């Protein structure tokens, strides 16, 4: 991970703390393809969940695509992590 990627991810996390649905979506994309972070479908699903909940129209399809490669336990963990984020950001 380069400095530019780290800065991008840090910026998106700051935006996510303010409830920015596009930042949630961008983080989901980053984790789903491993851009700037290690590829992690659980994290990707979590961020896509948050994006859907906050009105991002593209996140639902991407969440479904990531879920195809996940177990039910992994999806449940992603959902739990999304709930934890909501509590953290509140």
Question: Could you give all domains of the chain from N- to C-terminal order, each with its CATH number?
Answer: 3-89 (1.25.40)
Q: What is the pLDDT of residues 5-22, one digit of tens each?
A: 668 999 999 999 998 999
pTM for the full model? 0.91
CB proximity list for 20: less than 8 A, separation 6 or greater: 54
Q: What is the pLDDT of residues 19-61, one digit of tens each?
A: 899 999 999 999 999 998 999 999 999 999 999 999 999 999 9
Nearest to 43 by CA among 14, 90, 84: 84
Q: Which two tokens stand for residue 37?
A: 């972070």
What does the DSSP assignment read for 8-65? HHHHHHHHHHTT-HHHHHHHHHHHHHTSSS---HHHHHHHHHHHHHTT-SSHHHHHHH
């Amino acid at each position: 991970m380069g400095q530019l990627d780290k800065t991008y991810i840090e910026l998106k996390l700051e935006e996510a703390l303010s409830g920015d649905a596009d930042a949630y979506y961008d983080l989901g994309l980053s984790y789903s393809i491993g851009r700037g972070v290690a590829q992690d479908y659980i994290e990707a699903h979590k961020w896509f969940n948050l994006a859907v909940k906050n009105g991002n129209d593209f996140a639902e399809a991407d969440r479904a695509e990531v879920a195809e490669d996940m177990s039910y336990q992994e999806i449940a963990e992603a959902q739990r992590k999304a709930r934890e984020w909501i509590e953290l950001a509140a």
